[in-house]
Amino acid sequence: MAHVQVLVVGGGPAGSSAAWHCAQARLDVCLVDRARFPRAKPCAEYVSPEGSRILHAMGALDTLEVQAAQLDGMVVHAPSGDRIHGEFVARHGFRGFRDRGLGIRREILDTVLLERARAAGVRVIEQAKVEQLVQDANGTVTGAIIRTESGAQTVHASLVIGADGLRSVVSRRLGLARQSRWTRRVALVAHYRDVTDMGALGEMHVTRHGYVGLARVSDGLVNVALVVPQRYAGTMRDGRNAFLENWLRAQPSLSPRFAKATRVTPVRATGPFASRAKRPWAPGALLTGDAADFFDPFTGEGIYSALRGGELLAEFAQGAVRATSAEGHVRSLRAYEHARKRVFGGKWRVEQLIGLAVGMPPLLNYAARVLSKDRDLADLLIGVTGDFVPPSAVLRPRTLLRFLG
């Protein structure tokens, strides 16, 4: 395999979505990932209702739904004890592809999506590490050197897509990676069995020193994702397992629910978050998924953004690959950047507002008091986080005024 039109680096939801959609655009695609699938990944493992639309288009939804837990909405517990209860319901004139989210283990989700890409004609190479990018004299990316069990090989490509996550090799090698100094948080994630009182709502429990998300996922398990400021990473001297379990035991509202629970997977860490590439492209390359941007896991945007980003970029990848001049190639890449801002810009603003509230407990307590009395407004906000209500519905002035109570 000396040359392909598109080389996708990363086999998670962002990479598989990008590869599948590029293959649908009749591009010759190769996808490489350093892991062998199935593989575990620290993640909240939540797919929003609108994410189901893309899974359906990829032919993966039916397979995944029988292995997933249904999530009907979210309940947020503020430090004050007030609750924000919102459900994925068709209100306010908005309707999603599904009126429920999915809790699905990444071992299952990622493997199914990778197989859908393979079925679409994508060449998939597992256990393949990208050692370096190949660039021409003008700095345009023209491929990558990858190493497999059989040795190193150069794969030439008209376009390289970096879908390789928070620590993206593609983004870093191109000098595009950028970390925010604000809301620097890390996450510890594990699966538990026999957590009591788990219903069909995902839960977020916010304290003054971080927050924890609980949600049912595949196989009757509960995903437990603790997110704390990065400074706490230095206090995990007894290990991640002990830190997570001690944190849960210290919460009066959660400790009884975990009294008979059993942790069935190791505690995995990820972060720090709050990263956004300087721009999602360089000549010869595009970024998508967490490699392009990831603010904070509170709203559970990662998987949907990965799927939607892969869907979005296919048109621009096709234009870049088939451009007859360097100017036309770059024009397609710039158009992709503008499209990302148009599609995700409103959601980024909502995420930042939520992140501000989560980082300032008095502000979150106030918002929780308002939303606990205004169920329609709570459902509207949850609809935005479920991706089937446009962010403009929350950001318009008359809606923002409702938060003033």
Instruction: Express each pLDDT in 92-129 by its tens digit.
Output: 555 566 678 899 999 999 999 999 999 999 999 999 99
Structure tokens at 187: 């996450």
Specify the pLDDT at position 66.
95
**Beta carbons within 10 angstroms of residue 49's beta carbon:** 26
Compute the distance between CA of residue 200 and CA of residue 197 in angstroms, rounded to an integer.
10
Distances (CA, A) of 377 to 98, 393, 405: 20, 10, 11
Banded pLDDT at 2 (limits 50, 70, 90) = confident
**Of the ranges 35-44, 72-81, 356-365, the best mean pLDDT one:** 35-44
Ordered by where they begin, the domains of the chain are 3-40+105-179+273-354 (3.50.50.60)
Q: Helices then strands (H, E): number in the chain?
A: 12, 21
Q: In one letter, which amino acid is 364?
A: L
Q: What is the mean pLDDT of residues 65-72?
A: 94
Banded pLDDT at 298 (limits 50, 70, 90) = low
Q: What is the pLDDT of residues 157-169, one digit of tens each?
A: 999 999 999 889 9
pTM of the model: 0.91
